[in-house]
Amino acid sequence: METIARGVNERVRGDRIVRAWFAAHRGLFKTPAARQAKGLEGRVFANVHRTGKHIVCELAAAPGNDSRKKTALEPDAQWIVHLGMTGRLLVTTPDAPVVAHTHARLELESGKEVRFVDPRRFGRLDFRELSGAEAFSAAGMEPLAIGAQEFATLFRGRKLPVKAALLNQRLLSGVGNIYADESLFHAGIRPRRSAGRLTKTELERLRVALKMVLEQAIRLGGSSVSDYVDAEGMRGFFQLEHCVYLRTGLPCKRCKTPIRRILLAGRGTHFCPKCQE
Ligand SMILES: [Zn+2]
């Protein structure tokens, strides 16, 4: 990742975006494509770097003819590229063949072209104006790509309930309330358990369960993967048969014990008191 961001930075720094084109797959865009295009066109790449699993392109207004401004490209917006599992950010030229699954093309003043290619569409493109609070700082790990060792490290020494840890976007990106409840059920872990006190076996069960739940959500949501990055995880998820989520008082599908609901970190939290320890 680091190599990629640096390579792009070397090639595009100081270059102005003349035109932005996006493909029609809506699931890829955390900011609507039209808004991204409008924000990108005319801006200059001030710097490209990596933050967690994201490549962040710092953008500045074009310096114009004022020589004093030329020296300081003060970023006022960001184009954030989450590569997902198969995404690539390429710097090429407009005449280079456009490969399949090219979802974004930025024409630069120098004649270069930046392209985002992602066959499996787990990637994300986001555009933000830098008005303080909007600045991108999340460094959460990608839950579909995280390995056992990394997952265990995330939770080590943390005293907060495991449910709260799952929802913490700085630890894992994009785990919504439904996914947290459902994966804890499949892992057999009580939501209130202290994250740092889970055993290695439990952590691995949780990682696998989370991955399974997210993959199922993606399958049911069709081509739109944005479902699992929704804060609430609502969209496209209704088809999924929940085991615990919003099933308060109904019999557990595994053991018939009534599902219980508690409030944890301000969120409705559902679990089976028998299956989850
Ligand atoms: Zn049960």
Q: What is the DSSP string of 58-71?
A: EEEE--TT-HHHHH
Ligand 1 centroid vs 129 CA: distance in angstroms?
47
User: What average pLDDT does the segment 267-275 reach?
Assistant: 95
Average pLDDT over residues 38-63: 86
Q: Which residues pair with 104 in a beta bridge?
A: 22, 116
Strand order, beta sheet including 17-22:
17-22, 102-108, 113-117, 88-92
CA of 247 to the centre of ligand 1 (A): 12
pLDDT of residue 72: 60
- Residue 174: the pLDDT is 72
What pLDDT score does 232 carry? 37
Measured distance CA(207)–CA(84) in Å, rounded: 17
Tens of pLDDT, residue by residue over 174-230, are 788 888 999 999 999 999 999 999 999 999 999 999 998 888 776 665 333 333 333
CB 155 within 8 A of CB 203: yes
With pLDDT > 90 as the criterion, what percentage of the chain qualifies? 41
Residue 257 CA to ligand 1 centre (angstroms) = 5
pLDDT value, residue 116: 92
How far apart are alpha carbons 251 and 248 in whole angstroms?
A: 9
pTM of the model: 0.51
For ligand 1, the distance from its centroid to the CA atom of residue 157, given in whole angstroms, is 29
| 90 vs 232, residue with greater confidence | 90
Cα-to-centroid distance, 264 and ligand 1 (Å): 20
Strands 17-22 and 102-108: antiparallel
